[in-house]
Amino acid sequence: MSFFAQLLESIGLRKREAHVGLRPHRDVVLAVGIEVTHERALDALARVLGANVYVDDRLTHTIEAGFGTLNQERIRVSLVSESVVETRVHIEAYFPAGVERPKHSLAVDTLAGALSSRA
């Protein structure tokens, strides 16, 4: 390590590691149609996570939910029909500007687990 790098590290100004801009997310494939999956996702958001649903767009099969207060994690669920009897669920956490993004989201993992267990 160079002298300059050591100096920056010693005073707490070391360059941060590059952080890839991906949000915490999970994909789940369910062996049911898109309408049933949409209902299951709504139910799991309310019952398992206790989230408030802000967007429930049945045309694009997009659901957005949050947890009450400002500057909190939000969840976006996007459904894609793979076939008549198979649906891909993309669950993604997003955060307000300026909030440091964690690498993992308990809400995303919990929702993915709740949907997978009912498959």
Q: Is residue 12 part of a domain?
A: no
Q: Is residue 95 part of a domain?
A: yes
Q: What CATH code is carried by the domain that includes residue 109?
A: 3.30.530.20
Number of separate domains in the chain: 1
pTM value is: 0.77
Q: Is residue 54 part of a domain?
A: yes
Q: Is residue 76 part of a domain?
A: yes
Q: Is residue 17 part of a domain?
A: no
Domain that holds residue 78: 23-117
**pLDDT tens-place string over residues 58-117:** 999 999 999 866 657 899 999 999 998 999 999 999 887 777 778 889 999 999 999 998
DSSP secondary structure of 6-66:
HHHHHTT-PPPPP---PPPEEEEEESS-HHHHHHHHHHHHHHTS-PEEEEEETTTTEEEEE
